Chain A
């Protein structure tokens, strides 16, 4: 059981806008910035968003937001290369450790 809850799977067509969610609590998402990581075919994770910041080299169709204890990653204009597993994470002050969501498998139809 992950401390952060993500959809198991999400799908969309090329060009569509999709939103992935990550729900936690006031101990974690409500208090700290959230990171989003893309993992393609079980390769090394790549950060696609941290807080509201887009890492260098990540296309601006990726955006992030947070409301209360839920963070969201939105991909506007979905591309075939966006098909991957996406994980969210943040710090949890009660656990004194970083927590991850279980991951969302994004399929581009």
Chain B
């Protein structure tokens, strides 16, 4: 069974940093680009970032560009999101998602259960 499990969510102060992880299982992780998507309380889904299968290409939403960094370790079947200079508006559930066919422009078919990040003073 294909599965994604996020971890690393926490309460952090504005300006702080946090690293989220996403552990993949049940599929060939290194064949697929991976997305990060977030959802603020009571709001809709917002795409954050995507990384190609080999980590060679990354793209970010304007709202996080320059502050967040996506990476992956295919030897560990793991995806990461390094979040720096956190703002109150970064408070959200963060989901990792597998692309359908593997390309960075593909939509998602498998989602994790999410991890909550709260930015608060």
Once A45-B45, A45-B111 are accepted as A-B contacts, the answer to whether A98 and B100 lie under 8 Å apart by CB is: no
A2: nearest chain-B partner, CB-CB: B44
- Do B47 and A100 touch across chains, with their CB atoms under 8 A apart? yes
Contact for B47 among A44, A93, A97, CB less than 8 A: A97
List A residues at the B interface (Cβ < 8 Å): 2, 32-35, 37, 39, 42, 44-47, 50-51, 53, 55, 85, 87, 89-91, 93, 96-103
Q: Number of contacting residues on B, CB 8 A? A: 24
Interface centre among B35, B47, B110, B114 (most CB of A within 10 A): B47
- Do B111 and A98 touch across chains, with their CB atoms under 8 A apart? no
Contact for A98 among B50, B109, B113, CB less than 8 A: B50
- Do B112 and A44 touch across chains, with their CB atoms under 8 A apart? yes
Contact for B45 among A33, A37, A53, A97, CB less than 8 A: A37
B97: nearest chain-A partner, CB-CB: A45
- Do A100 and B106 touch across chains, with their CB atoms under 8 A apart? no
List of A residues within 8 angstroms of B100 by Cβ = 33, 35, 50-51, 53
Once A44-B95, A89-B47, A102-B44 are accepted as A-B contacts, the answer to whether A33 and B106 lie under 8 Å apart by CB is: yes
List of B residues within 8 angstroms of A93 by Cβ = 105
Give the number of residue pairs across the A-B interface with Cβ within 8 Å.
74
B89 interfacial contact with A, CB 8 Å: no
- Do A47 and B61 touch across chains, with their CB atoms under 8 A apart? no
B41: nearest chain-A partner, CB-CB: A42
Distance in angstroms from A48 CB to nearest chain B CB is: 10
List of A residues within 8 angstroms of B35 by Cβ = 98
A100: nearest chain-B partner, CB-CB: B45
Q: How far is the CA of A39 from the CA of B39 in the complex (A)?
A: 11
Distance in angstroms from B93 CB to nearest chain A CB is: 8
Once A35-B100, A97-B59, A98-B47 are accepted as A-B contacts, the answer to whether A47 and B105 lie under 8 Å apart by CB is: no
